[in-house]
A and B are shown apart, each in its own frame.
Chain A
Amino acid sequence: MMRLLKIEWIPIRHNKSIWIMLGLYMVLFALLSYAFDKFEFNAGGEGAMLLSQFNLLKFPDVWPNLAYLGSFFNLILAFIVIMLVTNEFSYRTLRQHLIDGLTRVEFLAGKLMVIGVLSLTLTVFLGIISLILGSVNSPSGAIPWTEGSEFLGAFFIQTLGYLVMAMFFGLLLRKAIFSIGLFLLYSWLIENLPGWITGFEIFDYLPGNAMDELIPSPFTRYLVSETAPQLPLASLVATVVWIGVFAGASYLLISKRDL
């Protein structure tokens, strides 16, 4: 396991684009989290209103709200993963690794470990930001800070799911530009089409939709009902299943292919 991590770490460590994208992710996310409740929100007829009136960053709301904000940033991470995977094809280093005695399963396991470490790191980062902003914005001792923190776990699973899906697209198409294009087209359009056309709820459990639903948008909640956010269990189960499906499909893609 340490060997596989080392094999992944050496090329990542010197890859400037990855560190620039990660740095951008963290700085932008920290800034937007801080500014989250200072935006104006245009709610149709009633005109513009300040989000600050809802106190979005107090415990326990801070957990689902920042997790929701974080899910927009997953796209940057998906680009990183697609780049990492497709580089191995364009530099032909996967081919060389196999010649040197890495197995196809080890290659896949290495990439999954990177995805796991990346998801975990950013979950911890999100957790720290949420804790800090939550403590600043909550009256002390009012509500235990752990309440609602299950959304931190949901963020981890969501990120993991997005990235395993991104890896699959990278392995499928092997070229960064095609993989990113199809990934965007698929998750923004193709997957939503059957739902829009038929209106069947079952299409909410397609991979991208299930991952999106995992952390629901806070805005409708504040406008429509003031109930505490619930973790959607069905979406959680669907996401975990999809992670398994994409990992398995990636294995099938890579195990017999000529490289």
Chain B
Amino acid sequence: MNPVLTLSNLSKNFGNLKAVNSVTFSVEKGSVFGILGPNGSGKTTTLGMLLGVLQPSGGNFSWFGEAPSAASLKRIGAILETPNFYPYLSGKANLKLVAAIKECGEDRIEEVLRQVNLLDRAKDKFRTYSLGMKQRLALAAALLNEPEVLVLDEPTNGLDPQGIAEVREVIGQIADSGTTILLASHLLDEVEKVCREVAILKKGELLYCGPVEGVSNDLSAQYVELSADDLKALEQVLSKHPQIMRITPRDKGLIATFTETIHGGDLNGYLFQQGIVLNHLAVRQKSLEAQFLELTNKNQ
């Protein structure tokens, strides 16, 4: 195991508010790691500390196994919240400035501008850009130093569907090239599509950390819709099933969850043996969104 980033008991208080409360996790090299949580859950605060703009109230973190420093930040490319550039400078001049700060040379400027599809607007002032273009320029700046880790905070926030698709495509390409990606988002769908691992935050607390699929295992992501002419008998028989967890009536049928993954055919066979003839049977996956809501509500 080779973590590029380790947080241990990292905390941040704003007065009495515990914005981030003793969060511990680590991010492996090459992984695409999501930080998921509703607005105000401490995602941006966590990233702010990792990127040196906020002072932690407690705990610590390390990049590349070293104590935090400007040198390690130069190996990272990061966007925190909004794209921040000088409005009266051209996109290209802004990138020259970033290159000087990161000490990475200016020869990649054209390449990254092409990568985010901004080359034809490179000489225009930043303030003339649309929101999507500003976001893409921020991505170009983050990519300028060929970062070992790319940190993105709500990269598609406020973009139209086409902008979202464009930004996601670039992220996908970067992930494929083996760059470690740390992506914070309140959009479950986004994390599900892009990330392989996820840390779920709520009110500054870490609720879950592990593979995206693991969220499902944790919470019996599967449910079965059933209906029969005699619902009472169906419910009675179901409740005796060795792996049954919960039965809830819905519409003209029942929703059943099980402690283990259930095969539809096996369940049908079992019920038929017990004298139940089904007129509807469907095994469904809960969306990550449903699971996420369940997880965050459980911890209220």
Number of interface residues of B (CB under 8 A): 29
How many Å lie between the Cα of A231 and that of B242 in the bound state?
A: 98
B contact residues around A16 at 8 Å (CB):
88
Contacts of A95 in B (CB 8 A): 53, 80, 84
Q: Measured between alpha carbons, how far is A170 from B75 in the docked complex, in Å? A: 31
Interface residue B102 (Cβ < 8 Å from any Cβ of A): yes
Return the CB mask of A96-130 against B: 1 if under 8 Å, else 0. Answer: 11111111001000000000000000000000000
A56 to chain B, nearest CB (A): 41
Interface membership of A15, Cβ < 8 A: yes
Q: Which of A3-11, A65-73, A141-149, A193-201 contacts B (4 or more CB under 8 A)?
A: A3-11
A257 to B55, CA, bound (A): 7
Q: Is the CB of B52 within 8 A of A99?
A: yes
Q: Report the bound CA distance from A14 to B94 in whole Å.
A: 11
Q: Which residues of A contact B54 (CB under 8 A)?
A: 258-259
Determine the distance from Cα of A95 to Cα of B47 in the docked complex, in whole angstroms. Answer: 13
Q: Convert B268-295 into 0s and 1s, putting 1 for each residue whose CB lies closer than 8 angstroms to a CB of A.
A: 0000000000000000000000000000
- Beta-carbon contact of A92 and B97 below 8 Å: no
- Is the CB of B93 closer than 8 A to any CB of chain A? yes
Q: Which of chain B's residues 32-83 have a Cβ closer than 8 Å to chain A?
A: 48, 51-55, 70-71, 73-74, 76, 78, 80, 82
Inter-chain residue pair count (beta carbon < 8 A): 74
Contact flags B86-102 to A (C-beta < 8 A → 1, else 0): 11110001001110111
B84/A98 in contact, CB under 8 A: no
Interface of A is mostly: helix
Inter-subunit contact A6/B100 (CB<8 Å): yes
- Determine whether A52 belongs to the interface, using a CB cutoff of 8 Å to chain B: no
A6 to B82, CA, bound (A): 24
Q: What is the CA–CA distance of A95 and B85 in the complex, to the nearest angstrom?
A: 10
| Least CB separation from A257: chain B residue | B55
**In residues 1-27 of chain A, which contact B (Cβ within 8 Å)?**
3, 6-7, 10-11, 14-16
Contact A99 B70 (CB under 8 A): no
The contact string, 1 if C-beta is below 8 Å from chain A, for chain B 22-36, is 000000000000000
Please name 17 further chain A to chain B contacts, defined as beta carbons within 8 Å, in addition to the given A11-B89, A98-B52, sorted by A numbering: A7-B100, A14-B88, A14-B93, A16-B88, A91-B84, A93-B84, A95-B84, A99-B52, A99-B73, A99-B80, A100-B98, A100-B101, A101-B70, A101-B76, A101-B101, A106-B70, A256-B55
Is B251 interfacial (CB 8 A cutoff)?
no
Is there an interface contact between A91 and B85, defined as CB atoms closer than 8 Å? yes
Given contacts A97-B101, A102-B70, contact A10 B82 (CB under 8 A): no
Most buried by B among A15, A95, A103: A95
Measured in the bound complex, the distance between the Cα atoms of B236 and A225 in whole Å is 114
**Does the CB pair A259–B53 fall under 8 Å?**
yes
Q: How far is the CA of A91 from the CA of B94 in the complex (A)?
A: 12
A100 touches B73 (CB 8 A): yes
Return the CB mask of A76-87 against B: 1 if under 8 Å, else 0.
000000000001
Cα of A106 to Cα of B74 in the assembled complex, Å: 14
Max chain A Cβ within 10 angstroms of own Cβ: one of B76, B86, B98: B86
Q: Considering only CB atoms, which chain B residue lies closest to A7 in the complex?
A: B100
Q: Please, how many angstroms separate the alpha-carbon atoms of A98 and B74 in the complex?
A: 10
